[in-house]
Amino acid sequence: MASAATDPINDSENIKEISKMANEYGSEFVNKFYSSLDNKRHELGKYYADDAKIIWNGNEIDIQNRQNFQVELPDCTHSIECFDVHPIFSEFNQTGHYMILVSVSGSVRYKGHELKLFYQNFMLKAIETKWKIASDCYRFAE
């Protein structure tokens, strides 16, 4: 077992660098994902891993039906109030992939509906050179 002095997970400089990179990737992801969700839904598939798990207001959406579900939603505009990004360090992550947790909150207006508050959590995993959504949980704050 490595000592705290040599264990990279306990190296504060390493943790800072990993956290900084996660924040950069997470920020870029949030900007691109919600722009696509609001304006180019046909492009959303490129963000999801083949085995992604999707929960929409407590209902699981089968990955094969994801695109139809998202494309058929009424036109919408999301306003992101805040988001938070955390790297998932290897001692908590047994997948063999680098992973990032992204938590988002804000408001959304669907055409023909009132403004609603929402929360969305993503687990992103690095697959080759791309970040892909492994888990997506969207919930209205009702």
Q: pLDDT tens, position by position, for the chain (142 residues)?
A: 333 334 455 566 778 888 898 999 999 999 999 999 999 999 999 999 999 999 999 999 988 888 899 989 999 999 999 999 999 876 555 666 688 999 999 999 999 999 999 999 999 998 888 889 999 999 999 7
Q: What is the separation of C-alpha 60 from the centre of its chain, rounded to a whole number of angstroms?
A: 16
Tokens 């994902």, located at residue: 33
pLDDT for position 17: 85
pLDDT of 11 reads 63
CA angle 99, 100, 106 (to 5 degrees): 150
Q: Nearest CA to 39 among 64, 72, 12, 75?
A: 75
Q: Residue 23: its pLDDT value, please?
A: 92
What is the structure's pLDDT at 93? 58
Dist CA 56 CA 54 (whole Å): 7
Provide the pLDDT for residue 82: 96
135, 122 Cβ separation under 8 angstroms = yes
To which residue do tokens 């660098």 refer? 17
Q: What ranges in the chain are assigned the alpha helix state H?
A: 12-39, 66-72
Q: What is the pTM of this model?
A: 0.85
Return the pLDDT at 2.
35
